[in-house]
Structure formats: C-alpha cells, structure tokens
Amino acid sequence: MPAEAGPQLTWDVAHDVSELFEYHFMINALLAGGVVALLAGAVGWLMVLRGEAFAGHTLSMMAFPGAAAAALAGVPGAWGYFVFCGAGAGAIAGVSGAGRRSWGEQSAAIGSVQALALAVGFLFVNLYGGVLGDLESLLFGDLLGVSDGQVLVLALVTAVTLLALMALARPLLFASVDPDVAAARGVPVRRLGFAFLLLLALAVGATSQITGVLLVFALLVAPAASAQALTARPLASLALTVLLALLIVWLGLGIAYFSVYPAGFFIATIAFAIYVLARSIAWLRG
C-alpha cells in the first residue's frame, strides 16, 4: 500500500529513485511489473498484429469468473485464473475458429463469450454469499502487495511463454499476416491460431493476478499498438513494444509511490498518453 508516512518528492532525483528501492514491497512491485511488461509486451505485439485485441480483452475478463470460482471452491485464486483463461481460449477458438468467418462475425461470437463469462462470474459472486473481499484488487490489481511466490510464478510463466513464442515465431508470424500462402506451404494455420490463444490465455492469467482484470489489457494493447504505429520493422517494433511496456509500468509505479492515488490509474493513463503520442507522430509523418 502507498506508505502512510507519505514519501516526499524532492528535487534530488537520485534520492527519489533510491527511495523507491527502500521497501521490499516496492522492489517486488518493480520486479513483477518488469516481468509483466516483458510478457504482456511480447504476447501483445502478436495479438495486435493478428488483430485479436478483442479476444485478448475477453480473455482478460475471464479472470473475473476465475477468481470468483476459486473463492467459491476455496482453492487458491491462481487456479481459477488459469483454468478460466484456458477455458476462455477454447471457447473463443470454438465459436470464432470454425470456418473462415468475417471479422464482424468473429467479434460478435467473441463478444457473446465475454458476456457469458461476466454473467457466470456474477453468479459465482452471488453464490459466494458475502462480499468478495478481493473484488477491488481483482479489478485494479495489487501491484504494491506482490509476494515473493507470485513473482516466482510470474517469472516461470513468462519463461515458458517466451520460449514457446520463440519456437513458433516464424510460422506464427507467417500464419498471422499471410494465412493463405502459409497454409499452401504446409503451415498448420488453424492449430497455430489456437496455440497462440492458449499462450495469450496463459499470459493473461498470470498477469491479471498482479495487475488486475482491467489493467492487463492496457499493457497488452497499448505498447504494441504504439510501437507498430511507429515502425513496420518487426524486430524494431517488438523491442520498442517491450521498452514502452517497461517505461509505462515503472513510471506508473514510481509516480504512484509519491502520490496518494493508485498505481493502476497512472499506468493506464501513461499507456494511453503514449498511444496518442505514437499515433500523432505516425499521422504527422503522413
């Protein structure tokens, strides 16, 4: 939680920065935030390139019924996140993947999955009876209350996801931008699409436990969309995505430390500001 003592921002930048590292919770927040930025940046880059932002948003929402179901069943919240995000990936692939549908049909199908997920989550909260104590941290995250164990799980999931992405990189990119030719070359386009949804679900499940349901989407979409607006070079825009994500998370945490307002607000606001800036630069360039 933001320190009640009220750390004061001074004009001595070195002092201010060193103060950020004085508390264990702050070190964990910066560490977890850094790993989240790496994971959400890399997965989000492909998500934006594939035009699957709405699927990503729906998977983010899966954390809500996931956490509520875990509370109801009395199991650790993380189980609920992963199980429901994985189920969400299956549902999205099921309703949108059959045949080659237009984007309009797909988004309607994915929207229906999202509506169902929220309704089921609401039912679980009701069945749970009392107030779901963690509802606020469920929505907005608890970056300042990250435990050592959570950092470890997050780092593990990130390593697995990034290794899988590296192994799939080229055929996945091929299938994403040029599915007809990729299929003619023997690339399993549909199976790769499903594999990517599962990786997206894994990333969202791990990330939203820390950033909350609402914030994970900002980190998935804003850095990637900004970087891709600025450059069409794949490696450059991927690197820029991760750098922007790190900047957004760390700057947001740093400002929140010296402020009475929550970190999530600053992170989402900086993400949006960077996106607007990137689109403006792209527009000015013509």
Partner 1 sequence: MSGAPILELEHAAVRIGGRTIWSDLSMSMREGEFVALLGANGAGKSTLLRAVLGATTLAAGEIAVLGGPPGRAGAGIGYLPQRRSFSAGTRLRGVDIVRLGLDGDRWGLPLPFGFGRAAERGRADRARVAEVIELVGASVYAERAIGELSGGEQQRLLIAQALVRRPRLLLLDEPLDSLDLPNQAAVAALVARVCHSEGVAALLVAHDVNPLLPYLDRVVYLAAGHAVEGPVAEVVTSETLTNLYGVPIEVLRASDGRLVVVGQPDPPAHHHDRHEHASGEHAHEHAHAG
**Residue 182, interface with partner 1 (CB under 8 A)?**
yes
Residues within window 95-154 making contact with partner 1, judged by CB under 8 A: 99-100, 102
Which residue, chain included where needed, has tokens 């950092």?
A: 151
**Residue 46, interface with partner 1 (CB under 8 A)?**
no
**Residue 191, interface with partner 1 (CB under 8 A)?**
no
How many angstroms separate the CA atoms of 46 and 49, rounded? 5
Tell me how far, at minimum, the Cβ of 79 lies from partner 1, in Å.
Answer: 32
Tell me how far, at minimum, the Cβ of 201 lies from partner 1, in Å.
Answer: 22
Give the angle 120-126-131 at the CA atoms, nearest 5°.
125
**Which of 122, 180, 261, 273 contacts partner 1 by CB under 8 A?**
180
The DSSP code sequence of 156-214 is: HHHHHHHHHHHHHHHHHHHHHH-HHHHHHTT--HHHHHHHHHHHHHHHHHHHHHHH-HH
Number of residues that bind partner 1 (CB under 8 A): 29
**Which of 159, 169, 277, 281 contacts partner 1 by CB under 8 A?**
169
Site string for partner 1, 56-95 (x = CB under 8 A): ----------------------------------------
How many angstroms separate the CA atoms of 26 and 24, rounded? 5
**Which of 115, 152, 167, 276 contacts partner 1 by CB under 8 A?**
167
- Are 218 and 37 in contact by the 8 Å Cβ rule? The answer is no
How many angstroms separate the CA atoms of 113 and 226, rounded? 28
Q: Which residues bind partner 1 (CB under 8 A)?
A: 49, 51, 99-100, 102, 166-171, 173-174, 177-178, 180-182, 184-187, 228-229, 232-235, 237
